[in-house]
Structure 1
Amino acid sequence: MSALNRRSFLTSAVAVSAALTLGGALDSLPAYAAAPANRPGRAWLRDARIGLFLHWGMRTVPEYTDVEAWEARVTGDGWSAGYWVDEAIKLHASYLVLASFHSRLGYARTWPSRIPGSPRTQRDFLGELIAAAKDKGLKVVLYMTDDPQWHNESGFEYLDSAAYSAHKGQSVDLTTRDGFGMFSYDNFVEVMADYPDLAGFWIDNDNAYWEQSGLYERIRRERPEMTLSNNNEDTPIMDMVSHEQKSGMLPDYDYAAATWTPLPRLAEGCFTTAGRWWYNGTDNTVNEALTLRRIISNCGASIRSLVAEGAQHGGRFPARTEAFNNAAKTWLDGVWGSLRGTEGGGYLYGGLQPGRLPDDGFVTVTVDRDDPTTQYLHITTRPSGDTVEVRDNAHTVRRVEDFRTGRRLAFEQRDGCLTVSGITRWDPYDTVLKIRTAPRRTVLIPPDGITATATSSASGFPAANLVDGDFTTYWDAGDTIPVSVTLDVGRVRHLAYLALNQREWSPTQNRETFGRKEDSARIKDYRVFTSDDGVTWSQEPVAAGVLESAKGVRFIDLGVRCRYARLDVDSTWAAETVPAFYRKLRIDHVGVATHHPRGGGRG
């Protein structure tokens, strides 16, 4: 096990052990017990960086209303499961999500289902895909919809309530959510039993019938190795939250800015390569730059990228999509060593600070799980000059080189920043620098050298969580703003800065997702006062300002000698019109540095 994962693994292992002790078998726990990030059988999903989301069905252009005619067309056009697997491999995908039983694609079951109610094929396309993927070391996840509302969108009725009612021996209206919930529940059970190598389900929102009938608990009981992912909902029993088609970020590829799933919870960003959201197999223009930068940005936040592409009836992708996959293979081959086996930097895994640069650039950071002294700085928007300056987050840098060429680069480290100069080779999408650092961040005061108190804390989320060194715990201000946090470092000493990792449970800006209002719950206006005795405080703040609403670690520079530092949070970014995030400050961790690492190296 890598050094980077050991702490989070142990935390999850203790939680699982306690659950087993208190409740017997894991399946006997109450509904919606949080799914541990390290549940057995999930290693492939934790390690995955990219998946291929296959949209393909009876309403692929041209639309079919007769499933036998559609199946004949698919077979006649030469459909091959191996083609999809090979295209996924070009994208370095670890898994494929098959979306045919989709509300906008005709509700087709692409397997010989024994359950009437919507179109079903005789040929076992699902089984063939699972087998082909297994041969190449990939996983297949099945998309399942909860939604009957598009049952006759094109004027043709794709759901057969009469046939399903006869099958069940009772009247069931498949166009209602409860009726469709019963029908889809039966399909979950069928494929669980028939496809032992199916890796999991990608669920497009919850259905009340599933929840009331204990569907997810049944999956956990009968197929405990299966993964469960939910779209735009955080259902705790599931393994992963998928965030669908986010937009409006600056820069537009900074997908993490619109997500709201804190680590170590597994998260996925689900987006198209171009054009309309759900594909009908037409030859849309592909936005290569946006797609590749989103993949890099997501890796820098430990978010998987589920890249959506729509196939034609015979399975082949349209010409522009296929050309993109070919180009993406070549490009990703060149940077894959900086993405494979890494976690996002600037979060609970340490690493340099991601985000905007002082000179208009933008970077993300990845950290090698097996060797945390190796980091990769991904410059996805080039700065105005030929140097890059980032906050070092207390890491002492030993060496910097161009990842692609291995050429050493000159660097200087001072005042909390790493400045790399002499960069002459810029990639249009991602210039990657390999950073080697010292094994320990010695400028940070260890957890046993700091205590924290607060003027307000929610029950169960005390201020002590701010300095316990464990990112799986956090402090909650208890819906109280203004609020103050006081840090006691034990004796008067020089304090260089505070490093704040606020909980990544909210987006970075005001937005709306499928009708749900969202906003940043992060610190906005702040002041810092200091004291030697905890009684008499500096009359003026030693630091004050507006903290950027951004993902990853943020810094407040101090440069003072004191024993106590009091952070007064006067406001947060969320508007009062967004009550779910208004005045709801949560912070994972506050680090305190006594000084800045210094050093440099020649190119």
Structure 2
Amino acid sequence: MVQKTRWIGGHDERIRRVTRWFAPARFGFFYHWGLFTGGGNSSNGSSAPVLCHASISEFEAAAPAPDVVARNLVATVQRVGAKYITFTVVHSCDGWAVMYPTAVPGFLRVTTRDYVGALLAEGARKGVKIILYMPGGMGHWDTPGGPWVAENLRTPEGYAAGLTALVQELVARYGAQIGGFWLDGLNPLLSDLPALMHRLLPDAVVLVNNRTRFNSPEVDVSTTEFLSHLPEPLYNRPGGLLKPIDWIDGMLPPMRDFNEDIPTCNEWWHGAPPYSWEFILPFAYRQGTGNYQRDPLFWIREMLCSLGMRGQWNYAMGLGPMLDGTVPPEFEPMLAAMEAFMSWAGESLADTTGGEGSGLVPGWCNDGAFCPVTVSRKNPAVHYLHVTEAPTTSVLRVQPNFRPIRSVEDLRTGHPIPFTQNGALEMTPASWADVAAYGAAVFRVTLE
């Protein structure tokens, strides 16, 4: 007798909200942009200048008009086939500056121009969803250069009231243009905030950084910023998330589903002071340090692992844009590589889920091959095999989880690939050249 699965923690509603747009989108960007763009950090312990732009007036004199910044931010996303943006409305490392003219009292640095509204409007025009970032707790308000907020926001109770008012104001101003909210931590006094967000915007997705335990039923998606250890291959971030990270609020390894993986290629914002190696190495914070610049294909392989090694995960690259919203030139090669890859491989990522538990087993295969797998959500018989490390032989062997294979074809060329199935799926492409040329060879594998 088959029993119906019972879920806890608002799981059915979580599935509804996440699958409405966020899960099918899969690939996004995380933009930190504000007074710290170009350099600086107002958080405690920074050895850099406090902020690149010392005041709102100085910042607004240097930055282009909001609609120009918004067009550039969205254009980068569309260029590489990403589907959404997370944008910092306010950040503790940015002097708690708010990027729209808020009327909520206590924020001492508030723009007179509406950068948030311009980005939301541009996203709506271009079909790019916008998620709004905000800190889930008060911190760094009394660091050098501060105080950064007024007295009413400096206590946990005061900040909880202030952030709640900010969310209400954002929804009143922009409504359903807001695709979701991204909370960097969650003050216990704000435990009801995700529920409020859903009451105000029923279809919004709510993400909380590092909250892998889902101990708030209204949290839809956890995120993984730090790794517990260095993975193998180095770009396989899910392989570095297999142990608890006790120093982050007892963070457990992320579950198969409902996670967003968030690496950064330039310390989150343009010109940010680099983390010390004493910080990076123990916490495996930046397994990609320097690799994005040295190897433009590293980013592609990293994304494929985050989207193909577990289940319903998303991937958002933390790339700090310049003040005009364009990408720093040192990252142009990796953007060009992603654009070339997604021009023919986008089908294998959009509206898919990862390969854990699917008809093909993702991960290590024969003779050094490594193969993330994605599965079409619309037709689960269709799997996509991404070979990010080619075997040292001409033959690739993949475990098919006891599922019969109907056909295999090269996704880029459309050519059928010879294969046999005697237990493992064995296939012999003409070459593995796409691995070196694009970051991966991709095959559409259709199951019976």
User: Per the shorter chain, which TM-score range?
Assistant: 0.7 to 0.9
- Counterpart of 1:223, as a letter, is L
Distance in 2 separating the partners of 1:308 and 1:103: 17
1:54 to 26, 31, 38: 31
The offset of 1:68, in angstroms, is 1.8
Contact kept, 8 Å, 1:117 with 1:159, in 2: the verdict is no
AA in 1 matched with 2:431: T
Q: What is residue 587 of structure 1 aligned with on the other side? A: none
Alpha-carbon distance change, 158 to 224 in structure 1, aligned in 2, over 3 angstroms = farther
Structure-1-length-normalised TM-score: 0.61
- Is it true that 1:157 corresponds to 2:153 in the alignment? no
Amino acid at match of 2:232: L
Q: Which structure dedicates a bigger proportion of its chain to strand?
A: 1
Alignment RMSD (CA, Å): 2.7
Amino acid at match of 2:146: E
Q: Which residue of 1 is the match for residue 385 of structure 2? A: 377
Task: Give the match's secondary structure for 1:108.
Answer: coil
2:92 pairs, out of 83, 87, 103, with 103
Instruction: Give the Cα separation in 2 of the matches to 1:160 and 1:241.
Output: 28
Structure 2 counterpart of 1:257, from 217, 239, 252: 239
Taking a change above 3 Å as real, the CA distance of residues 78 and 374 of structure 1, as seen in their structure-2 partners, is: closer
Report how far residue 33 of structure 1 moved: 4.0
Give the 5 Å matches for 1:315-326: 315-326=325-336
1:430 paired to 2:440: yes
Deviations along 1:408-448, one digit per CA (max 9) or x if unpaired, are: 2222211x21111244142221111222221xxxxxxxxxx
Q: Provide the rounded CA distance (Å) in 2 between the counterparts of 1:34 and 1:419.
A: 38
Match of 1:112 among 89, 97, 101: 101
Q: Which residue of 2 aligns with 1:571?
A: none
Distance in 1, matches of 2:345 and 2:220, equals: 28
Tell me the SS of whatever aligns to 2:367.
coil
**For 1:313, which of 315, 323, 338 is the aligned residue?**
323
Confirm whether residue 138 of structure 1 aligns to residue 128 of structure 2: yes
Q: In structure 1, what is the Cα distance between the partners aligned to 2:148 and 2:240?
A: 35
Matched, 1:208 2:198: no
What is the aligned counterpart of 1:293 among 301, 306, 310?
Answer: 301
Q: Counterpart in 2 of 1:403?
A: 411
Q: Which residue of 1 aligns with 2:44?
A: none
Distance 2:172 2:429 in 1: 59
Distance of 1:134 and 1:240 partners within structure 2: 22
**1:35 and 1:237 in contact (8 A); partners too:** no
SS at structure 2 position matched to 1:38: helix
Q: Which structure shows the higher helix fraction?
A: 2
Deviations 1:298-318 (A, max 9, x none): 221331111111122232221
Q: 1:83 to 1:381 in 2, by over 3 A?
A: same
Letter in 1 for 2:201: R
- Counterparts in 2 of 1:257 and 1:36: CA distance versus 1, 3 Å: farther
Q: Deviations over 1:429-477 (max 9, x none)?
A: 1111222221xxxxxxxxxxxxxxxxxxxxxxxxxxxxxxxxxxxxxxx
- Tell me the percent identity: 26
Matches for 1:191-230 after TM superposition, within 5 Å? 191-196=170-175, 197-211=177-191, 214-230=192-208
Q: Which residue, out of 379, 387, 394, partners 1:386?
A: 394
The residue number in structure 1 matching 2:260 is 268
Distance 1:152 1:333, change over 3 A: farther
Amino acid aligned to 1:382? A
SS at match of 1:432: strand
Q: Equivalent residue for 2:169?
A: 190
Alpha-carbon contact 1:56-1:280 (below 8 Å) kept: no
Query: Could you tell me which of 350, 370, 382 is aligned with 1:340?
Result: 350
Q: Which amino acid aligns with 1:305?
A: Y
Q: CA deviation at 1:346?
A: 3.5
Cα distance between partner residues in 1 of 2:410 and 2:116? 43
- Which secondary structure state, in structure 2, belongs to the residue aligned with residue 194 of structure 1? helix
Q: Give the letter for the 2:91 counterpart.
A: H
CA distance in 2, matches of 1:58, 1:105: 6
Of structures 1 and 2, the one with the larger relative CO (CA 8 A, separation 6+) is 2
Where 2:13 maps in the other structure, the secondary structure is coil
Q: Which amino acid letter does the alignment assign opposite residue 21 of structure 2?
A: W
Change beyond 3 A, Cα 1:398–1:222: closer
The 3-state SS of whatever aligns with 1:271 is: coil
TM-superposed CA distance for 1:135, in Å, is 0.5
Q: Structure 2: how far apart are the matches of 1:314 and 1:140? A: 18
The 1:86/1:230 distance shift into structure 2, 3 A limit, reads same
Distance of aligned partners of 1:133 and 1:76 in 2 relative to their CA distance in 1, 3 Å threshold: closer
Q: State the 1:203 CA deviation.
A: 0.6
Change (3 A) 1:433 1:378: same
Rounded Cα–Cα distance in structure 2 between residues aligned with 1:332 and 1:341: 14
Asked if 1 retains the 8 angstrom alpha-carbon contact of 2:268 and 2:319, the reply is no
Partner of 1:502: none
Shift of 1:150: 2.2
Q: Which residue pairs with 2:46 in the alignment?
A: none
Residue matched to 1:45: 22
Contact 1:50 1:95 (C-alpha < 8 Å) held by counterparts: yes
Question: C-alpha separation between the residues in 2 aligned to 1:140 and 1:101?
Answer: 15
Aligned to 2:112: 122
Are the aligned partners of 1:380 and 1:431 in contact in 2 as well (CA < 8 Å)? yes
The separation in 2 between residues aligned to 1:64 and 1:317, in whole angstroms, is: 19
Q: Is the 8 A contact 1:65 1:156 kept in 2?
A: no
Which whole-Å CA distance do the structure 2 matches of 1:129 and 1:77 have between them? Answer: 8
Deviations 1:99-134 (A, max 9, x none): 241111222211110023221111111011000000
Report the CA distance between 1:158 and its aligned residue.
5.1
Report the Cα distance in structure 2 between the residues aligned to 1:357 and 1:394, rounded to whole angstroms.
16
Whichever residue aligns with residue 348 of structure 2, its letter is S
Structure 2 residue aligned with 1:420: 427
Q: Distance in 2 between matches of 1:114 and 1:296?
A: 42
Preserved CA contact (<8 Å) 1:252 1:290: no
Aligned length: 395
**What is the Cα deviation at residue 262 of structure 1?**
3.0
Closer, same or farther in 2 for the Cα pair 1:69/1:116, shift >3 Å? farther
SS in 2 for 1:375: strand
Residues 40 and 342 of structure 1, relative CA distance in 2, 3 Å threshold = closer
Which of 192, 217, 226 lines up with 1:236 in the alignment? 217
- 1:82 paired to 2:60: no
Q: Return the letter of the residue paired with 1:201.
A: F
- The Cα shift of 1:390 comes to 1.1
Structure 1 residues 91 and 216: alpha-carbon distance in aligned structure 2, compared to 1, 3 A threshold: same
Q: Contact 1:411/1:421 (CA < 8 Å) preserved in 2? A: yes
SS of the residue corresponding to residue 68 of structure 1 reads: helix
Q: Which has the larger radius of gyration?
A: 1
Question: Kindly tell me: are residues 178 and 419 of structure 1, through their superposed partners in 2, closer, same or farther at Cα, counting changes over 3 Å?
Answer: same
Q: Give the 3 Å change call, closer, same or farther, for CA 316–59 of structure 1 in structure 2.
A: same
What's the CA shift for 1:290? 2.3
Asked if the contact 1:377–1:432 (Cα under 8 Å) also holds between the matched residues in 2, the reply is yes
